[in-house]
Structure 1
């Protein structure tokens, strides 16, 4: 399914392929900078997640092309069986390939580690397009967890994306080192656009005059596929959350709620009087909660980066993390889902034994999107 403006056969444009809300958030600073400079770009949406509200929130133009029907809610995509997701993936590769060959952009940019990212990298690669003249650009290249299945399928997607890219935009010294170790070419360390996205969103939230929750609070964020699909892991996560003594706010994803109900664990959460379950909110509001929280408890990826922007302690409920830069800052803690260690970390944070050092953010400072626009002139 293609919805577009008139196709311009030109090499002067930039094509940005996005499938999920997380990709949009991290590409948002780049897109806003291009729009502010009146530089033309094509916004290609794979349809993996609904993006309308997020585009409206930040003033990003509507997609020029929508390649598949959006699910009504983001979590519907992963509720489908794996076979259906694979069929979708192959269709999107075909559609991106056909579209990029019509557009003939100078650069095709894709971000991160989703199925849409990998599809864009493969579809625009030299293997499928031997005569291609555009450059493939992977934004957020070089992250590595050390295991193909933690997190899954993201670790596989990001390695595929790095393999088929001409320009690898590394987010840190470590990601640059990872790429050099793999003998990749076209590596440019620029920093992480999440820094720009966080500041833009926080300023937007302040203008909206959102009210801060009363008192100290922990912010909970649980949604990882490899955790949700594992009942034993989810039980362990609930046990860990039971160690939180301070007030806690939990914006609950639909998919997480589904599995908590399925495993009979939602009732356990409801018994914890200090944990308040709230609906998901827009990104600016969520960033506002991060900026004002006591600490974070999460199995997410980008939120580890956001914790460093606002210097908030972060308890990571995973076996492995590809955001290893944060582990050396003294405020990010990889629990490996060890109940005893997680309990000790939460206790230390709540007793104010963990303090944010004056560390230099390993993902850089504001201005990453400006660097990228300059690079892609």
Structure 2
């Protein structure tokens, strides 16, 4: 069992107090954290001489950035996702993934994921992140079977439309 984490947004990564809080929350998490680290985040941690310390944290497995398919595999296998990424909030709702998301931001531009019950905005404070993880593990939600962003069959629909349009 593990949680998948990502953090790369400027408002989080460029704020040393927030970034430090994220790393402390991940290190103290009630579940191991797998963290494919964005180059921007790694750069900030190295600038502040905290990367080497974080890398040694037993509960936190830092990976290099992953390709899309490898990242999808981690999304599918994890217990929850902790992220500041808007796109990941959407993808976690896909019928083939369906994972709870803790949004480590003060707000989200993806309210559909929150309203549908997939995501919860927990903020950027270490204790709020830890509380969100503990709550998600202790009281797993029955997630919707339908994504607020569609049925996951967009590619099939696009191919069908193209075939129709190209047929004379």
Matched-pair contact (CA < 8 Å) for 1:331–1:356: no
Which residue among 64, 88, 112 is the counterpart of 1:325?
Answer: 112
Matched-pair contact (CA < 8 Å) for 1:311–1:356: no
Task: With a CA cutoff of 8 Å and minimum separation of 6, indicate the structure with the bigger relative contact order.
Answer: 2
Structure 2: runs of 5+ lacking an equivalent: none
Q: CA deviation at 1:268?
A: 4.2
Matched-pair contact (CA < 8 Å) for 1:243–1:346: no
Which residue among 339, 343, 348 is the counterpart of 2:130?
Answer: 343
Q: What is the rounded CA distance, in whole Å, between the counterparts of 1:228 and 1:315 in structure 2?
A: 17
Q: What is the rounded CA distance, in whole Å, between the counterparts of 1:337 and 1:318 in structure 2?
A: 5
Residue 363 of structure 1 is matched in structure 2 by 149
Q: Is it true that 1:313 corresponds to 2:93 in the alignment?
A: no
Residue 226 of structure 1 is matched in structure 2 by 11
Which residue among 24, 41, 45 is the counterpart of 1:260?
Answer: 45
Q: What is the rounded CA distance, in whole Å, between the counterparts of 2:56 and 2:131 in structure 1?
A: 22
Q: CA deviation at 1:359?
A: 4.2
Residue 54 of structure 2 is matched in structure 1 by 269
SS at match of 2:92: helix
Q: How does 1:109-258 map to 2 (within 5 A)?
A: 216-258=1-43
Counting matched residue pairs gives 161
Matched-pair contact (CA < 8 Å) for 1:313–1:356: no
Could you give the per-residue CA deviations for residues 36-62 of structure 1, whole angstroms, max 9, x where no partner exists?
xxxxxxxxxxxxxxxxxxxxxxxxxxx
Q: Which runs of 4+ in 1 moved over 6 A?
A: none
SS at match of 1:249: strand
Q: CA deviation at 1:258?
A: 0.5
Q: What is the rounded CA distance, in whole Å, between the counterparts of 1:271 and 1:233 in structure 2?
A: 20
1:340/1:279 Cα in 2 relative to 1: closer, same or farther (>3 Å)? closer
Structure 1: runs of 5+ lacking an equivalent: 1-215
Could you give the per-residue CA deviations for residues 206-252 of structure 1, whole angstroms, max 9, x where no partner exists?
xxxxxxxxxx1111111112212221221222232233122221111
Q: CA deviation at 1:290?
A: 0.6
**TM-score normalised by L of structure 2:** 0.84
Q: What is the rounded CA distance, in whole Å, between the counterparts of 1:229 and 1:303 in structure 2?
A: 20
Q: CA deviation at 1:336?
A: 2.1
1:219/1:336 Cα in 2 relative to 1: closer, same or farther (>3 Å)? same
Matched-pair contact (CA < 8 Å) for 1:329–1:359: no
**TM-score normalised by L of structure 1:** 0.40
Q: CA deviation at 1:256?
A: 1.1
